[in-house]
Amino acid sequence: MKKDEHYSEEQLNAFVDGELDPEEKSRLYNASERSPDLDQRLCRQRKMKDLVQHAYKDVPLPFRSGGTPLARTGFLGRMIAAGFLIAIGLSTGIIAHQYLDQRQIDTGSVTANAALPVHKIDKYLLHVVSGEPEQMMAALEHATYLLESARSGEDRQVEIIANERGLDLLRSDVTPFAKEIATLQQNDVVFYACSKTIQRLEEKGVTVQLVPFTNPNYTALDRVVTRMQEGWNYEKI
Amino acid sequence: MARSVILGISQRRAFRKLLGNSRSRLYRMAYAWTHNPHLADDLVQQTLCKALSNQKQLKDPGAAEAWLFRILSNCLKDYYRTKREVLSAEELVIVDDRTPEHESEEQQLVSKVRRAVRKLPLPQCQVITLVDLEGFTYATVADVLEIPVGTVMSRLCRGRRSLREFLTDIRPQPESARTAKLMGIK
């Protein structure tokens, strides 16, 4: 009867979890045949495992409008967006203040709209700030994924805004992704090049040439603020 | 040069498929770690975004699943490290909004076990769920959580011991007990 005390709880767990090699497994199995106490200990360990498996065997995915894995801006996404807005806001200072003053009337109407319950959001604004090809590709992949994962008959809108180093994505003489961008444009994805970033580059003497059909008329700040007020999902890549 | 870092189309598709297929499992794990559906969903979202952004880091496609769960674990770590103090009301979740009277026997069991798992310290909870729900080996769990295998074993041990204590009343009722109850009614 003492025999089973040689087996530690770790060993019993390893048995239950299939971590023992065949020899050890056989030894413990034979010992449990001889010792009801050991057998009971093993049963207790296995029971805990079974209960946990049973408790989580059916965890339904939360409803999301598009049913896509990468399609909702939640708390963390909003935190990222908020961080971006704060950073931009601080850097633009008085200009941004004046700019926002000028938008008083518009903001009032948008706020009223924002108060309305939004039942279905299928609009996505992706924001590219990095000049790394991997990040740019991730944004294009993400946009492709969003389009591909839309349910049939569902109208999904995707826009991509690029600023800072991310503007390289949309510069025709720099981007390695002109083809991919054209393909996405054919699928109604709209690309925006931040007018502020273009202006800064031009002030430095850089001639900015954009890929065809890129919209250069908005700042990243304006697009992000406007689209978020309109209830779009926002994701910074 | 930039082209050279881009994976082939078929590989990218396979990667996207992997992400799509992993979502429900990642969500189940995130839910088991947090018991907060909104937070779990956000963590999965973050995990998938990070995976897309960093797919180049995945050298061994065979290790993709462990890699995804490691990202999930790191997202949760980041969340607790930086965001906990700014939890909004939206983050507060009533986990059990049904009373026991409204639950079937099976639902009651599920709720009870989930409550017990929720009481565990997160490190123990993570080890138990990765082993029991995903069927990961101890070595894989060690890799996912970036801890030694010995720590996996000791956390598993302590976690299951605690679960046993929390769930002492879950045991099949012996025939004799049922008889005794009936005799009492008489």
pLDDT band at B92 (very low <50, low <70, confident <90, very high): very low
| pLDDT of B102 higher than 80 | no
- Write the CA distances from B157 to A41, B121, B151, integer angstroms: 13, 13, 10
| Residue positions counted in chain B | 186
**Confidence bin at B168 (pLDDT 50/70/90):** confident
Residue with the larger pLDDT of the pair B173 and B67: B67
Distances from the Cα of A9 to the Cα of A191, B38, B155, angstroms: 59, 36, 11
Q: Is A147 on the interface with B (CB under 8 A)?
A: no
pLDDT by position in tens, chain A (length 237): 445 558 899 999 999 999 999 999 999 989 999 999 999 999 999 999 999 999 999 888 775 544 444 444 445 555 555 555 555 444 444 444 443 343 333 333 333 333 333 334 588 899 998 888 888 888 888 888 788 776 666 678 899 999 999 999 999 999 999 999 998 988 889 999 999 899 989 998 999 999 998 999 888 888 888 888 788 888 887
pLDDT band at B60; cut points 50, 70, 90:
confident
Give A142's contacts in chain B (Cβ within 8 Å).
49, 52
Which pTM was predicted?
Answer: 0.56
Looking at residue A64, what is its pLDDT?
A: 54
Provide the 3-class DSSP secondary structure of residue A131.
Answer: coil
Q: Is A49 on the interface with B (CB under 8 A)?
A: yes
Q: A236: helix, coil or strand?
A: strand
Backbone angles phi, psi at A123, to 5 degrees: -130, 135
pLDDT at residue B8 in the model? 62
Q: Give me the pLDDT at residue A39, please.
A: 92
Residue A188 or B97, more confident: A188
pLDDT of residue B179 exceeding 50, the answer is no
| Distance (Å, whole) CA A139 – CA A130 | 10
Give the A:B interface size as CB pairs under 8 Å.
142
DSSP character string of A95-125:
HHHHHHHHTHHHHHHHHHHHTS------EEE
How high is the mean pLDDT of chain B?
78
What per-residue confidence (pLDDT) applies to B28?
95
CA–CA distances in Å: residue B123 to residues A52, B11, B73: 16, 34, 10
Residue B5, pLDDT above cutoff 80: no
pLDDT at B6: 47
A74 inside 8 A of chain B by CB:
yes
- Chain A residues within an 8 Å CB radius of B27: 59, 61-62
Average pLDDT, stretch B3-9? Answer: 51
Q: Write out the two tokens for B173.
A: 């009722």
Under the banding of pLDDT at 50, 70 and 90, the label for residue B142 is very high
Nearest to B113 among A17, A55, A134 (CB): A55
Pair of tokens at residue A74: 């939640």
Distance of alpha carbon B182 from alpha carbon B186, whole angstroms:
7
Which of A24-28, A182-186, B43-47, B81-85 shows the lowest per-residue confidence on average (mean pLDDT)?
Answer: B81-85
pLDDT confidence of residue B80: 83
Task: Please state, as a whole number, how many other Cβ atoms lie within 10 Å of the Cβ of residue A39.
Answer: 15
Whether pLDDT at B2 is above 60: no
Residue B18 pLDDT class (50, 70, 90 cuts): confident
Nearest to B157 among A9, A77, A133 (CB): A9
* Distance to chain A for B49, nearest Cα, Å: 7
| Total Cβ atoms within 10 A of residue A47 | 17
Predicted local confidence at residue A152, as pLDDT: 60
Task: State residue A132's pLDDT score.
Answer: 86
Q: How far is A134 from chain B (nearest CA, A)?
A: 7
pLDDT: which is higher, B141 or A132: B141
Q: What is the pLDDT of residue A42?
A: 92
Specify the pLDDT at position A83. Answer: 54
Report CA dihedral (B30, B32, B35, B36) to the nearest 10 degrees: 20
Nearest CA in chain B to A50: B132
Widest pairwise Cα distance in chain A: 87
* A227 or B149, which is more confident: B149
Q: Which residue of B has its CA nearest to A51?
A: B113
Q: What is the mean pLDDT of residues B78-93?
A: 56
What is the pLDDT, as a whole number, of residue A84?
Answer: 52
Predicted confidence (pLDDT) at residue B50 exceeds the cutoff of 80: yes
